[in-house]
Amino acid sequence: MTLQKHVSLNINIRGLSESPTLAINERVKQMQSRGEKVYNFGLGQSPFPVPVPVVEALRLHAHEKEYLPVKGLFPLKEAVAGFHRQKDLVEANADYVLVGPGSKELMFLLQLVFYGEIIVPTPCWVSYVPQAQILGKRVSLLHTSFEDKWHIRADRLSELLEGEKDTYRPRLLVLNYPGNPDGLTYTANELKEIAEVAREYELILLSDEIYGQLHHRGGHVSVARFYPEGTIISSGLSKWCGAGGWRLGTFTFPQSQDWLMDAMAAVASETYTSVSAPIQYAAIEAFRGSMVIERYLWHARRILSVLGQKCYRMLSDAGVRLHSPEGAFYMFPDFSPFARELAKKNIKTSKQLCEKLFQETAVAMLPGRVFERPCEELTARISYINFSGSKSLAASETIAIHHELPAEFIQAHCEETLRGMEILTEWLTS
């Protein structure tokens, strides 16, 4: 027994540990720094470098030292609104854009200021529930299923809402597509149906589209097209622009939800103040876009798409249940076909699955439970990002963009990823 420290902590914080995605990253990095080999499918970080014009813009603005407006630099807000107008064909107005140090922070502020129920379909991004815990709130989880492609269906949503006593209490539904952890996305029709239900019950939608530009076929559609008056679009530099470590996220509000934006900005002014000035200036370049950035995105999508398909085939050939990836750089396989064999190794939960796999093979994935799935469900998130983004981009640029990438490309440039997949399937089937 160790003596308890004399601590005086907010009870909501006690027992809270570091975000699992960041924790696994730090664990892996420590192992790597000791020279140990790790197949890291744990982290949700883009493998690609920040596009050159965006890095150049940061260099150019390195001297900017002033506190910027709490909601964000106006030209940046214009660029963000323009980005959504052009890419997503939605109405978006610079006056209703809020810039924060990551969309995670913005989501926290939203949870802090919104007095109402927050509904999150699972599997979901790892931070929603801990954020609520920190604030002493509860989010309502809505479990989806493998059969539904981990999607929330409009009819199920409608059923849930019409069964309630107080149908019109304030509610916010979170949608994330292409999705973390599943790498799947909604069709325009599905979104249209969800939009209809949302309109009927006056739901606010938080549409997390941070992976929108990483739809593998460039076909991202925003739900804001079908429910503009109730949809907040979340985006940022972290994923499509490869700048996770820069910390810049954006929320774009419909005019009618400006009360949420203003309340969030008031809290922001008492907490992070504003996003780092040089980063904001550089982000203008990213959101304004250019041919160079478009080309970067085409190549990034082509690589992720081909690699995702390859990984998908390797796993499904081995007998793992999973869907063919559609966006981002994630898969959310279900290992239940191996349940009997795994049980023999004393593996009955997703946590045990990932822990044992990591110990025996140094393949790191994140267990389904951190995405709020039931503990016993044998799911896990695989991020197929452990390859050199710069080298593969450079190589892809030598192959005309309208061609398919040859099979050898992946073999040559994403060898580590494929090797990790092999080790995983061998471990499962041995």
Q: Binding to a copy of itself (CB under 8 A): which residues in 266-305?
A: 266-267, 269-279, 282
Site for a copy of itself contains 94 (CB under 8 A): no
| Separation of alpha carbons 366 and 351, rounded Å | 8
Using CB under 8 A, pick the residue from 24, 28, 38, 70 that binds a copy of itself: 70
Which string of x and - marks every residue 126-145 that binds a copy of itself (by CB under 8 A)? -x--xx--x-----------
Closest distance to a copy of itself from the beta carbon of 77 (Å): 14
Closest distance to a copy of itself from the beta carbon of 19 (Å): 4
Closest distance to a copy of itself from the beta carbon of 210 (Å): 13
Q: In the window 238-257, what residues touch a copy of itself (CB under 8 A)?
A: 242-248
Give every CB contact of residue 266 below 8 A, 6+ residues apart in sequence: none
**Identity of the residue, 263 or 339, whose beta carbon is nearer to a copy of itself in the bound complex:** 263
First to last CA, the chain: 40
Site for a copy of itself contains 105 (CB under 8 A): yes
Using CB under 8 A, pick the residue from 2, 34, 67, 147 that binds a copy of itself: 67
Strands 117-122 and 380-383: unpaired
| Separation of alpha carbons 215 and 8, rounded Å | 46
| Separation of alpha carbons 267 and 269, rounded Å | 5
Q: DSSP character for 327?
A: B
**Identity of the residue, 273 or 411, whose beta carbon is nearer to a copy of itself in the bound complex:** 273
**Identity of the residue, 112 or 160, whose beta carbon is nearer to a copy of itself in the bound complex:** 112
Site for a copy of itself contains 411 (CB under 8 A): no
**Identity of the residue, 222 or 238, whose beta carbon is nearer to a copy of itself in the bound complex:** 238
| Separation of alpha carbons 421 and 259, rounded Å | 47
Using CB under 8 A, pick the residue from 55, 94, 395, 399 that binds a copy of itself: 55
**Identity of the residue, 78 or 334, whose beta carbon is nearer to a copy of itself in the bound complex:** 78
**Identity of the residue, 69 or 75, whose beta carbon is nearer to a copy of itself in the bound complex:** 69
Q: Which stretch binds a copy of itself (CB under 8 A): 53-61, 375-383, 398-406, 409-417?
A: 53-61
**Identity of the residue, 279 or 365, whose beta carbon is nearer to a copy of itself in the bound complex:** 279
Site for a copy of itself contains 322 (CB under 8 A): no
Closest distance to a copy of itself from the beta carbon of 12 (Å): 9
Which string of x and - marks every residue 21-50 that binds a copy of itself (by CB under 8 A)? -xx-xx----------------x-x---xx
Which is nearest to 300 in space by CA: 394, 210, 226? Answer: 394
Give every CB contact of residue 359 below 8 A, 6+ residues apart in sequence: none
Q: Does residue 397 sit in helix, strand or coil?
A: coil
Which is nearest to 284 in space by CA: 414, 28, 99, 86? Answer: 99
Q: In the window 201-220, what residues touch a copy of itself (CB under 8 A)?
A: none
Question: Are 145 and 24 within 8 A, CB to CB?
Answer: no
Closest distance to a copy of itself from the beta carbon of 101 (Å): 5
**Identity of the residue, 103 or 222, whose beta carbon is nearer to a copy of itself in the bound complex:** 103
How far from chain centre, in Å, is Cα 146? 19
Using CB under 8 A, pick the residue from 27, 31, 53, 69 that binds a copy of itself: 69
Number of Cβ atoms within 10 Å of the Cβ of 13: 10
Which is nearest to 335 in space by CA: 344, 345, 326, 322? Answer: 322
Q: Which amino acid is at 313?
A: R
Backbone angles phi, psi at 417, to 5 degrees: -65, -45
Q: Which stretch binds a copy of itself (CB under 8 A): 63-71, 186-194, 223-231, 411-419?
A: 63-71
Q: Does residue 350 sit in helix, strand or coil?
A: helix
Site for a copy of itself contains 2 (CB under 8 A): no
**Identity of the residue, 14 or 403, whose beta carbon is nearer to a copy of itself in the bound complex:** 14
Q: Which amino acid is at 295?
A: R
Closest distance to a copy of itself from the beta carbon of 249 (Å): 10
Site for a copy of itself contains 375 (CB under 8 A): no
Q: Which amino acid is at 289?
A: G
Q: Which amino acid is at 425?
A: T
User: For residue 325, is the peptide bond before it cis, meaning its omega torsion is within 30 degrees of 0?
Assistant: no
Q: Per-residue b/e over 385-404, b at no fewer than 16 CB within 10 Å?
A: bbbbbeebbebbeeeeeeee
Question: Are 183 and 329 within 8 A, CB to CB?
Answer: yes
Using CB under 8 A, pick the residue from 113, 141, 318, 362 that binds a copy of itself: 113
Residues contacting a copy of itself: total by CB under 8 A:
73
Site for a copy of itself contains 381 (CB under 8 A): no
Closest distance to a copy of itself from the beta carbon of 241 (Å): 9
